[in-house]
Amino acid sequence: MTLTTVDQAREPALPSKRGLSRSYARPRRTPLNWVRGGGLAAFLFLLPLLFVFGAFSWYPIVRTAIMAFQHTNLVEAPTWVGFQNFAAVWHDPLFPVAVRNTAYFAFLALIFGYPIPLVAAVLMSEVRKRRGLYSVLAFLPVVIPPVVGVLLWKTFYDASSLGVFNTILHWVGLGPYPWLQSQQWAMPSLVLYSTWANAGATIIIYLAALIGVNPELYEAASVDGAGLLRKVWHITLPQIRGVLLVTLILQIIGTAQVFLEPYLFTDGGPVHSTLTVMLLIYNYAFGNSLGGNYGMATALSLMLAGFLVVFSLVYLRATRSWSTR
Amino acid sequence: MKSIRIAMIVAVAVLLGVVASTAAGSTRSAKKVTISVASLIPGSTPEAIKQFNAQVAEFEKKYPTITVKPVEYQWTAPTFAAKLAAGTLPTVFEVPFTDARTLGDNGQLANLTPYFKKLSYHKKYNKAVLAEGTDAKGQIIALPKGAYAQALHYNRALFKQAGLNPSKPPTTWGQIRKDARIITQKTGKPGYVEMAKNDNTAGWILTTLVYSLGGRMEKGIGTHAKATLNNKYTVQGLKMLKTMRWTDNSMGSNFDLGWSDINQAFAAGQVGMYISGSDVYTNLVQAYNVNPSIYGLTTIPLAKNKTAGVLGGGTLAAVSPKVNNTQLSAAMKWISFFYEQPLVSKKQAIRNAKTLVANKQPVGVPALPLFNHKQYNLANSWIKPYINVPLGHMKPFLNGIFKQKLIPEPEASTQSVYNALNAVVESVLTNQNTNVQQMLQQANAQAQAAIEQGS
């Protein structure tokens, strides 16, 4: 009989080298072990998610890829047509128009829509009182259903002299402007609405990023006599550059897929001046009451998705060093 | 012994009762069928909904085994195509004359022929109208709901306010232009407004204008038809619109109105004159509660040449091809009851008119005959005591329409032809420097390609 202290008794005896390898060896993969190890429970919990994701996300993606190479009216049996749908899209005179318009929307959104939330967030972070109120006001347009927002703005954009914007501009001796009724004005009008509707979400992201900036940096800059603009330029922007890069790529991807604004405001008009790639896809699929050209619609969808994947990869590669510096 | 016999009789009786009731129950449940039917357009007034529900209740009383589920419905090209693709159309839905035959040929509408032949009144149909619902194989794939001729709707109150006589509406396009200018100058409201939305209504109304001047949008039939969008009458019509828009400034400032939008604007007193189907008064009441005293209806002025005519069209009721025989039979009963019987059965016509009047819905809206002329006059005589629309304000139309030549919509790729014209109309109304000839040539090429593809 060997005497042991209490502590020694609690500690497990160290196994020999051979025993170690035996006791910590991976258990054999058997269905029973998998069930005992909680695998079945995890799978059951995962099942609804897999089903929903599969049914509503992966299945449509796979179906889209298949339909892009078919001719179908969803009633009769589809026929394989190879790359004909892609060629038809490429030769459609509205395709370059839609690409040009989408690029124009993205450009305007980048010029106006991208800096405005940043400026607003910086200003709001500087405010000492009622910051919560300003946050709520900024975020409010995001929670307004888009259809309601568009209906509201349609009345603002009334091209007569009685329209809301035209009335306000008349007070300062401007207008009336045609807004959505002009080929030149329609797209900037959509960008204006889009900025209003979406800026709130980006402002919240920037505000969260700004909290992460070390206040001591600002204090040090103040001691050195830096003003607000120099602090923003030399401290704020470099400190949140990672977030800025992410929001930029998200904005570009979002604007490349712009649909809601041109669909609800102008239906792509006047004279295709607001026809975007997504709206063209919609028109291919549903523009003709006799049944759409689903092959062309899915082909253009794949082309857009392919472009965005390539663009994102190039963008991430090009900005990798800058974002991690 | 006696008690045993009584017990046995009772047991047998109970057993028979149970079997009988079970059998009856199973028979009842086997025959029960539910169909969804197109009802009113979204946003209809409570009175209109009440009236529709009353008709549903009457139908269900007549056919206790059929349950009818009304579904709000408005045909527009994009929403129809989306619902068709998704299979979410109601069992009974409505399609325009322009689409039924192609949808039927594509197998997208149920074959109604066997049921159609059982209708006691099937030989009374206007053959031209019935042809719109007959596919290439000669099968009946839709039955007519209503036929219209394009007409000029005008606001009598604005006419009066502008110093014009509302009982003497314009009879030439020159007068329309002049009256529109006067209305704008005197009232500040647009004198003449046109649907110019990219949902094909722009092309539809331009085609109406071109027909009235003597032009046509295509020659021939089917995929061999030739697009003639760039004819001299289209150029003439567009030049007139350009003058009204940019010189007279009598067409207002908003040029993105579709069918519902323009009805709403008219009912709100914001439009002097506009073109739409002669039966649009029903929608003006059902959806926008128009004040009958402001409403005026007249024919579209026709140019003095042999080819000028008024565009006519209509709507048909059709059934989804995905239904089983029981549902198809029930759907046909509904179509007959709701759409056709009020025009061929005196009892049903009067009952229908009474329900409409009780719910403040219009009775007597001008429409073109779906059945032969004798039947048309007969049906009108049945409902005469119940007519509640301002017939006096519609006299210019009623006196003139049967003297006008009725021309059907372009036969080949109708919606694509309209679609090609949308951009031309939009351009004329939103860009003063539009090159009409160039745009028409592009539109013609687009329409020709669609015709050749049969899309």
Residue B1 has pLDDT above 50, yes or no: no
Range with the largest mean pLDDT of B7-11, B25-29, B397-401: B397-401
- Name the CA dihedral angle for B366, B372, B378, B381, rounded to a multiple of 10 degrees: 10
Q: What is the helix (H) or strand (E) element at residue A155, kind and residue range?
A: helix A146-156
Chain A CA closest to residue B432 = A182
* Minimal Cβ distance to A288: which of B416, B423, B431: B416
Give me the mean pLDDT over the B160-178 stretch: 97
The overall average pLDDT reported for chain B is 90
Backbone φ and ψ for A324, nearest 5 degrees, come out as -105, 0
Residue B111 has pLDDT above 50, yes or no: yes
B199/A267 CB distance under 8 A: yes
pTM: 0.82
Measured at the CA of B121, the angle between CA B119 and CA B127, to 5 degrees, comes to 110
Count interface pairs A-B at CB distance under 8 A. 105
How far is residue B367's CA from residue B16's CA, in Å, rounded to a whole number? 57
How far is residue A79's CA from residue A91's CA, in Å, rounded to a whole number? 21
Chain A residues within 8 A of B255 when measuring between CB atoms? 181, 270
Neighbours of A142 (CB within 10 A): 17
Look at residue A11 in the predicted model and tell me its pLDDT. Answer: 45
CB B451 within 8 A of CB B416: yes
Look at residue B355 in the predicted model and tell me its pLDDT. Answer: 87
Residue A3 has pLDDT above 60, yes or no: no
How far is residue A68's CA from residue A76's CA, in Å, rounded to a whole number? 16
Look at residue A239 in the predicted model and tell me its pLDDT. Answer: 92
DSSP, res B298: E
Backbone φ and ψ for B447, nearest 5 degrees, come out as -65, -40
Residue A13 has pLDDT above 50, yes or no: no
Confidence of residue A325 (pLDDT cuts 50, 70, 90): low
The ipTM assigned to this model is 0.79
How close A50 gets to chain B, by Cα (Å)? 23
Chain A residues with a Cβ under 8 Å from any Cβ in chain B: 73-76, 93, 158-161, 176, 178, 180-183, 266-272, 282-283, 285-294
How far is residue A281's CA from residue A296's CA, in Å, rounded to a whole number? 8
Look at residue A34 in the predicted model and tell me its pLDDT. Answer: 87
Range with the largest mean pLDDT of A4-18, A124-138, B96-110, B140-154: B140-154
Give me the mean pLDDT over the B208-218 stretch: 97
Identify the residue among A289, A293, A294, A298 best suited for mutation to test binding to B, counting B beta carbons within 10 A and taking the highest: A289
Does residue B78 belong to the interface with chain A, where contact is any CB pair within 8 Å? yes
Chain B residues within 8 A of A270 when measuring between CB atoms? 255-256, 426-427, 429-431
Does residue B103 belong to the interface with chain A, where contact is any CB pair within 8 Å? yes
End-to-end CA distance of chain B: 85
Give tens-digit pLDDT for A84-116: 999 999 999 999 999 999 999 999 999 988 899
Residues 6+ apart with CB under 8 A from B387: B363, B364
Give tens-digit pLDDT for B323-367: 999 999 999 999 999 999 999 999 989 988 998 898 888 999 988
Look at residue A29 in the predicted model and tell me its pLDDT. Answer: 78
A244-282 exposure pattern, b = at least 16 Cβ within 10 A, e = fewer:
bbebeeebbeebbbbebbbbbbbbbbbbbbbbbbbbbbb
